[in-house]
Structure 1
Amino acid sequence: MTHPHSAPQRPPLPRGWKRFVARLPVHLYRIGLGPLFGRRLLLLIHTGRASGLTRKTVVEVVEHDRAGGSWTVASGIGPEAQWYRNLLLTPQATIQVGRRYYPVTAQPVTAEEGGRLMARYAPRHPSAARRLCRFMGYDIDGSEADHRRAGESVPFLRLEAAPGSY
Protein backbone atom coordinates (compact mmCIF):
# COMPACT_ATOMS: atom_id res chain seq x y z
CA MET A 1 0.00 0.00 0.00
CA THR A 2 1.14 3.54 -0.68
CA HIS A 3 1.95 5.29 2.56
CA PRO A 4 -0.98 7.61 3.38
CA HIS A 5 1.30 10.58 4.08
CA SER A 6 3.03 10.37 0.71
CA ALA A 7 1.39 12.04 -2.25
CA PRO A 8 -0.08 9.27 -4.41
CA GLN A 9 -0.66 9.92 -8.09
CA ARG A 10 -4.29 10.75 -8.76
CA PRO A 11 -5.81 10.53 -12.20
CA PRO A 12 -6.72 13.80 -13.91
CA LEU A 13 -10.18 15.24 -13.40
CA PRO A 14 -12.78 14.10 -15.95
CA ARG A 15 -13.19 16.15 -19.11
CA GLY A 16 -15.58 16.04 -22.05
CA TRP A 17 -18.24 13.33 -21.94
CA LYS A 18 -16.79 11.90 -18.69
CA ARG A 19 -17.30 15.27 -17.02
CA PHE A 20 -20.88 15.36 -18.33
CA VAL A 21 -21.52 11.91 -16.84
CA ALA A 22 -19.92 12.98 -13.55
CA ARG A 23 -22.17 16.08 -13.42
CA LEU A 24 -25.33 14.18 -14.46
CA PRO A 25 -26.60 13.76 -10.87
CA VAL A 26 -26.64 17.57 -10.44
CA HIS A 27 -28.89 17.84 -13.50
CA LEU A 28 -31.13 15.05 -12.20
CA TYR A 29 -31.56 16.93 -8.92
CA ARG A 30 -32.32 20.10 -10.89
CA ILE A 31 -35.24 18.43 -12.71
CA GLY A 32 -36.66 16.98 -9.49
CA LEU A 33 -35.24 13.45 -9.63
CA GLY A 34 -33.03 13.74 -6.52
CA PRO A 35 -35.14 11.18 -4.62
CA LEU A 36 -33.85 8.50 -7.03
CA PHE A 37 -30.54 8.62 -5.12
CA GLY A 38 -32.14 7.90 -1.76
CA ARG A 39 -29.91 8.84 1.17
CA ARG A 40 -26.69 7.65 -0.47
CA LEU A 41 -26.06 10.91 -2.36
CA LEU A 42 -26.86 14.50 -1.54
CA LEU A 43 -26.87 17.76 -3.45
CA LEU A 44 -24.52 20.26 -1.89
CA ILE A 45 -25.36 23.92 -2.54
CA HIS A 46 -22.47 26.17 -1.51
CA THR A 47 -20.75 29.47 -2.26
CA GLY A 48 -17.81 29.75 -4.66
CA ARG A 49 -14.63 31.13 -3.08
CA ALA A 50 -13.64 33.57 -5.80
CA SER A 51 -16.95 34.32 -7.52
CA GLY A 52 -19.32 34.31 -4.54
CA LEU A 53 -21.80 32.55 -6.83
CA THR A 54 -23.95 29.59 -5.82
CA ARG A 55 -22.34 26.28 -6.78
CA LYS A 56 -23.87 22.81 -6.78
CA THR A 57 -22.32 19.38 -6.64
CA VAL A 58 -23.51 15.91 -5.73
CA VAL A 59 -21.44 13.99 -3.19
CA GLU A 60 -21.73 10.56 -1.64
CA VAL A 61 -22.77 10.29 1.99
CA VAL A 62 -20.17 8.27 3.88
CA GLU A 63 -22.06 8.37 7.15
CA HIS A 64 -25.35 9.85 8.35
CA ASP A 65 -26.13 10.53 12.00
CA ARG A 66 -29.92 10.53 12.08
CA ALA A 67 -30.09 11.39 15.79
CA GLY A 68 -27.64 14.30 15.58
CA GLY A 69 -28.62 15.55 12.14
CA SER A 70 -25.28 15.36 10.37
CA TRP A 71 -23.95 13.93 7.12
CA THR A 72 -20.29 13.10 6.55
CA VAL A 73 -18.91 13.35 3.02
CA ALA A 74 -15.48 12.73 1.50
CA SER A 75 -13.57 14.51 -1.22
CA GLY A 76 -12.63 11.64 -3.50
CA ILE A 77 -10.21 13.82 -5.45
CA GLY A 78 -8.52 15.13 -2.35
CA PRO A 79 -8.25 18.61 -0.85
CA GLU A 80 -8.07 20.19 -4.33
CA ALA A 81 -11.80 19.67 -4.96
CA GLN A 82 -13.44 23.03 -5.52
CA TRP A 83 -16.47 22.22 -3.34
CA TYR A 84 -14.20 21.14 -0.49
CA ARG A 85 -12.10 24.31 -0.71
CA ASN A 86 -15.26 26.43 -0.95
CA LEU A 87 -16.69 24.90 2.23
CA LEU A 88 -13.45 25.42 4.15
CA LEU A 89 -13.70 29.14 3.35
CA THR A 90 -17.48 29.49 3.71
CA PRO A 91 -18.77 26.56 5.79
CA GLN A 92 -22.44 27.59 5.65
CA ALA A 93 -24.27 25.68 2.94
CA THR A 94 -27.52 23.94 2.10
CA ILE A 95 -27.96 20.29 1.25
CA GLN A 96 -30.78 18.49 -0.47
CA VAL A 97 -31.42 14.90 0.52
CA GLY A 98 -34.29 13.43 -1.48
CA ARG A 99 -36.81 16.28 -1.57
CA ARG A 100 -35.79 17.87 1.75
CA TYR A 101 -33.44 20.82 2.18
CA TYR A 102 -31.31 21.44 5.28
CA PRO A 103 -29.11 24.41 6.16
CA VAL A 104 -25.76 23.01 7.32
CA THR A 105 -22.37 24.07 8.57
CA ALA A 106 -19.31 22.15 7.35
CA GLN A 107 -16.74 20.98 9.89
CA PRO A 108 -13.45 19.32 8.84
CA VAL A 109 -12.92 15.84 10.26
CA THR A 110 -9.58 14.94 11.83
CA ALA A 111 -7.32 12.42 10.11
CA GLU A 112 -7.84 9.98 12.99
CA GLU A 113 -11.63 10.19 12.67
CA GLY A 114 -11.27 9.89 8.88
CA GLY A 115 -9.51 6.57 9.40
CA ARG A 116 -12.34 5.34 11.63
CA LEU A 117 -14.93 6.55 9.09
CA MET A 118 -13.29 4.65 6.25
CA ALA A 119 -12.95 1.53 8.40
CA ARG A 120 -16.73 1.66 9.10
CA TYR A 121 -17.64 2.58 5.51
CA ALA A 122 -15.62 -0.14 3.74
CA PRO A 123 -17.58 -3.17 5.07
CA ARG A 124 -20.92 -1.48 4.20
CA HIS A 125 -19.82 -0.48 0.67
CA PRO A 126 -16.77 -2.60 -0.26
CA SER A 127 -16.67 -1.87 -3.99
CA ALA A 128 -17.17 1.89 -3.49
CA ALA A 129 -14.43 1.92 -0.83
CA ARG A 130 -12.06 0.04 -3.17
CA ARG A 131 -12.81 2.49 -6.01
CA LEU A 132 -12.29 5.53 -3.77
CA CYS A 133 -8.98 4.20 -2.45
CA ARG A 134 -7.83 3.27 -5.97
CA PHE A 135 -8.87 6.68 -7.30
CA MET A 136 -6.98 8.34 -4.45
CA GLY A 137 -3.89 6.37 -5.53
CA TYR A 138 -3.82 3.71 -2.80
CA ASP A 139 -3.27 0.03 -3.47
CA ILE A 140 -5.09 -1.65 -0.59
CA ASP A 141 -5.57 -5.29 0.33
CA GLY A 142 -9.03 -4.74 1.80
CA SER A 143 -8.04 -5.04 5.44
CA GLU A 144 -9.50 -2.75 8.09
CA ALA A 145 -6.00 -1.44 8.80
CA ASP A 146 -5.47 -0.52 5.14
CA HIS A 147 -8.83 1.25 4.96
CA ARG A 148 -8.07 3.07 8.19
CA ARG A 149 -4.67 4.26 6.88
CA ALA A 150 -6.17 5.39 3.57
CA GLY A 151 -9.03 7.14 5.38
CA GLU A 152 -6.52 9.14 7.39
CA SER A 153 -5.51 10.96 4.20
CA VAL A 154 -8.99 11.41 2.69
CA PRO A 155 -10.43 14.86 3.39
CA PHE A 156 -13.81 14.42 5.09
CA LEU A 157 -16.31 17.09 6.08
CA ARG A 158 -19.16 16.70 8.52
CA LEU A 159 -22.22 18.69 7.51
CA GLU A 160 -24.10 19.62 10.69
CA ALA A 161 -27.76 20.58 10.33
CA ALA A 162 -28.72 23.92 11.82
CA PRO A 163 -30.49 23.57 15.19
CA GLY A 164 -34.20 23.00 14.73
CA SER A 165 -33.93 22.25 10.99
CA TYR A 166 -33.60 18.51 11.25
Structure 2
Amino acid sequence: MTVYIRDTHPPRGFARILWRLPLWLYRLHLGWLLQSRFLLLTHIGRKSGLPRTTVLEVIRADKTAGKYTVFSGWRKQSDWVKNVEKTPQVKIQIGNHSFHAQTTRPAPEEAEALLLAYAARYPHLLRLVLRLLGYQTDGTEEDLRAIAHHSIMVTFEVLPPGTGGNV
Protein backbone atom coordinates (compact mmCIF):
# COMPACT_ATOMS: atom_id res chain seq x y z
CA MET A 1 0.00 0.00 0.00
CA THR A 2 1.31 3.45 -0.90
CA VAL A 3 1.90 5.78 1.96
CA TYR A 4 2.99 9.33 1.45
CA ILE A 5 5.39 9.54 4.38
CA ARG A 6 6.79 13.04 4.13
CA ASP A 7 6.69 16.23 2.16
CA THR A 8 9.80 16.65 0.11
CA HIS A 9 11.17 19.77 -1.45
CA PRO A 10 13.51 20.31 -4.37
CA PRO A 11 17.09 19.55 -3.33
CA ARG A 12 19.51 22.12 -1.99
CA GLY A 13 23.27 22.30 -1.66
CA PHE A 14 25.33 19.43 -3.07
CA ALA A 15 22.23 17.36 -3.87
CA ARG A 16 20.99 20.20 -6.08
CA ILE A 17 24.27 20.10 -8.02
CA LEU A 18 23.83 16.37 -8.67
CA TRP A 19 20.19 16.78 -9.73
CA ARG A 20 21.20 19.56 -12.12
CA LEU A 21 24.03 17.61 -13.77
CA PRO A 22 21.93 16.90 -16.91
CA LEU A 23 21.36 20.65 -17.29
CA TRP A 24 25.11 21.20 -17.38
CA LEU A 25 25.45 18.51 -20.03
CA TYR A 26 22.98 20.43 -22.20
CA ARG A 27 24.77 23.72 -21.53
CA LEU A 28 28.04 22.12 -22.62
CA HIS A 29 26.33 20.94 -25.85
CA LEU A 30 26.53 17.34 -24.65
CA GLY A 31 22.78 16.76 -24.44
CA TRP A 32 23.12 14.11 -27.11
CA LEU A 33 24.67 11.88 -24.42
CA LEU A 34 21.29 11.75 -22.69
CA GLN A 35 19.53 10.65 -25.90
CA SER A 36 15.75 10.71 -25.46
CA ARG A 37 15.82 9.81 -21.74
CA PHE A 38 15.93 13.51 -20.77
CA LEU A 39 14.76 16.71 -22.36
CA LEU A 40 15.73 20.32 -21.84
CA LEU A 41 12.64 22.44 -21.19
CA THR A 42 12.71 26.18 -21.83
CA HIS A 43 9.64 27.90 -20.44
CA ILE A 44 8.55 31.40 -19.45
CA GLY A 45 8.65 32.39 -15.77
CA ARG A 46 5.15 33.18 -14.53
CA LYS A 47 6.30 36.20 -12.49
CA SER A 48 9.40 37.43 -14.30
CA GLY A 49 8.34 36.71 -17.87
CA LEU A 50 11.92 35.58 -18.54
CA PRO A 51 12.99 32.28 -20.12
CA ARG A 52 13.80 29.54 -17.60
CA THR A 53 15.34 26.10 -18.22
CA THR A 54 15.23 22.75 -16.53
CA VAL A 55 16.01 19.18 -17.53
CA LEU A 56 13.35 16.53 -17.03
CA GLU A 57 13.38 12.77 -17.35
CA VAL A 58 11.10 11.50 -20.09
CA ILE A 59 8.86 8.66 -18.97
CA ARG A 60 7.43 8.14 -22.46
CA ALA A 61 8.73 9.31 -25.81
CA ASP A 62 6.49 8.85 -28.86
CA LYS A 63 8.78 10.26 -31.52
CA THR A 64 6.46 9.51 -34.44
CA ALA A 65 3.60 11.45 -32.81
CA GLY A 66 5.99 14.10 -31.44
CA LYS A 67 4.87 13.60 -27.82
CA TYR A 68 7.11 13.46 -24.77
CA THR A 69 5.68 12.90 -21.29
CA VAL A 70 7.41 13.79 -18.02
CA PHE A 71 6.60 13.29 -14.34
CA SER A 72 6.80 16.13 -11.81
CA GLY A 73 8.52 14.74 -8.74
CA TRP A 74 7.56 17.70 -6.59
CA ARG A 75 4.03 17.97 -7.97
CA LYS A 76 2.69 21.56 -7.92
CA GLN A 77 5.70 22.74 -5.90
CA SER A 78 7.80 22.58 -9.07
CA ASP A 79 8.27 26.02 -10.55
CA TRP A 80 8.29 24.62 -14.07
CA VAL A 81 4.81 23.13 -13.50
CA LYS A 82 3.45 26.47 -12.31
CA ASN A 83 5.10 28.22 -15.24
CA VAL A 84 3.79 25.91 -17.97
CA GLU A 85 0.31 26.10 -16.48
CA LYS A 86 0.40 29.84 -17.02
CA THR A 87 2.20 29.76 -20.39
CA PRO A 88 1.80 26.34 -22.06
CA GLN A 89 3.89 27.24 -25.13
CA VAL A 90 7.43 25.97 -24.52
CA LYS A 91 10.58 24.91 -26.28
CA ILE A 92 12.06 21.46 -25.75
CA GLN A 93 15.41 20.05 -26.76
CA ILE A 94 16.03 16.34 -27.07
CA GLY A 95 19.68 15.61 -27.72
CA ASN A 96 20.70 18.14 -30.38
CA HIS A 97 17.18 18.72 -31.73
CA SER A 98 14.99 21.63 -30.59
CA PHE A 99 11.24 21.95 -31.03
CA HIS A 100 8.47 24.34 -30.07
CA ALA A 101 5.79 22.47 -28.15
CA GLN A 102 2.45 22.85 -26.42
CA THR A 103 1.89 21.36 -22.96
CA THR A 104 -1.08 19.18 -22.10
CA ARG A 105 -1.96 16.97 -19.14
CA PRO A 106 -2.72 13.30 -19.77
CA ALA A 107 -6.07 11.97 -18.57
CA PRO A 108 -5.91 10.06 -15.25
CA GLU A 109 -6.26 6.68 -16.99
CA GLU A 110 -3.44 7.55 -19.38
CA ALA A 111 -1.25 8.75 -16.48
CA GLU A 112 -1.78 5.39 -14.78
CA ALA A 113 -0.84 3.49 -17.93
CA LEU A 114 2.26 5.65 -18.42
CA LEU A 115 3.51 5.09 -14.88
CA LEU A 116 2.81 1.35 -15.06
CA ALA A 117 4.72 1.07 -18.35
CA TYR A 118 7.64 3.05 -16.89
CA ALA A 119 7.63 0.78 -13.81
CA ALA A 120 7.80 -2.28 -16.05
CA ARG A 121 10.86 -0.86 -17.86
CA TYR A 122 12.70 0.58 -14.83
CA PRO A 123 11.34 -1.05 -11.63
CA HIS A 124 14.39 -0.44 -9.41
CA LEU A 125 14.91 3.12 -10.60
CA LEU A 126 11.24 3.98 -10.02
CA ARG A 127 11.32 2.58 -6.46
CA LEU A 128 14.46 4.62 -5.70
CA VAL A 129 13.00 7.82 -7.14
CA LEU A 130 9.70 7.36 -5.31
CA ARG A 131 11.58 6.85 -2.04
CA LEU A 132 13.56 10.06 -2.66
CA LEU A 133 10.28 11.88 -3.32
CA GLY A 134 8.77 10.80 -0.01
CA TYR A 135 6.72 7.73 -0.89
CA GLN A 136 6.74 4.41 0.91
CA THR A 137 5.44 1.87 -1.58
CA ASP A 138 5.62 -1.83 -2.24
CA GLY A 139 5.46 -1.23 -6.00
CA THR A 140 2.17 -3.01 -6.64
CA GLU A 141 -0.02 -1.97 -9.53
CA GLU A 142 -2.55 -0.55 -7.07
CA ASP A 143 0.17 1.60 -5.47
CA LEU A 144 1.38 2.90 -8.81
CA ARG A 145 -2.17 3.80 -9.85
CA ALA A 146 -2.60 5.77 -6.61
CA ILE A 147 0.71 7.57 -7.17
CA ALA A 148 -0.30 8.42 -10.75
CA HIS A 149 -3.49 10.06 -9.44
CA HIS A 150 -1.55 11.95 -6.74
CA SER A 151 1.19 13.20 -9.07
CA ILE A 152 1.42 15.54 -12.03
CA MET A 153 2.42 14.47 -15.51
CA VAL A 154 2.84 16.78 -18.46
CA THR A 155 2.99 15.91 -22.15
CA PHE A 156 4.87 18.12 -24.58
CA GLU A 157 3.34 17.96 -28.05
CA VAL A 158 5.73 19.13 -30.75
CA LEU A 159 4.27 21.87 -32.93
CA PRO A 160 4.68 21.89 -36.73
CA PRO A 161 7.68 23.89 -37.96
CA GLY A 162 6.94 27.60 -38.35
CA THR A 163 4.29 27.64 -35.61
CA GLY A 164 6.78 28.50 -32.88
CA GLY A 165 5.74 29.92 -29.58
CA ASN A 166 7.00 32.82 -27.50
CA VAL A 167 10.04 31.04 -26.08
Q: TM-score, normalised by structure 2?
A: 0.89
Shift of 1:112: 2.7
One-letter amino acid matched to 1:13: P
Which residue number corresponds to residue 92 of structure 1?
A: 89
1:150 to 147, 150, 163: 147
- Measured in 2, the distance between the counterparts of 1:66 and 1:151 equals 23
2-side partners of 1:63 and 1:17: how far apart?
A: 29
2:47 aligned to which of 46, 50, 60: 50
Moved more, 133-142 or 47-56: 133-142
Distance 1:69 1:164 in 2: 12
Whether the 8 Å contact between 1:62 and 1:121 is mirrored in structure 2 is: yes
Is 1:110 aligned to residue 72 of structure 2?
Answer: no
- Residue 77 of structure 1 corresponds to 74
| C-alpha separation in 2, matches of 1:8 and 1:104 | 35
**Aligned twin of 2:2:** 2
Give the deviation of 1:164 after TM superposition: 4.6
Q: State the one-letter code of the partner of 1:2.
A: T
Aligned-residue RMSD, C-alpha: 1.7
Count of aligned pairs: 162
Q: Which of 21, 25, 35 lines up with 1:24 in the alignment?
A: 21
**2:92 touches 2:99 (CA, 8 Å); kept in 1?**
yes
SS in 1 for 2:145: helix
What's the TM-score once normalised by structure 1's chain length?
Answer: 0.89
Question: Match of 2:125, SS?
Answer: helix
The equivalent residue for 1:123 is: 120
Q: How do 1:59-78 and structure 2 match up within 5 A?
A: 59-78=56-75
Structure 1 residue runs of 5 or longer lacking an equivalent are none
The equivalent of 2:136 in structure 1 is 139
| Partner in structure 1 of residue 165 of structure 2 | none
More displaced stretch, 126-135 vs 41-50: 126-135
Percent identity (aligned) = 38
Gap runs ≥5 in structure 2: 163-167
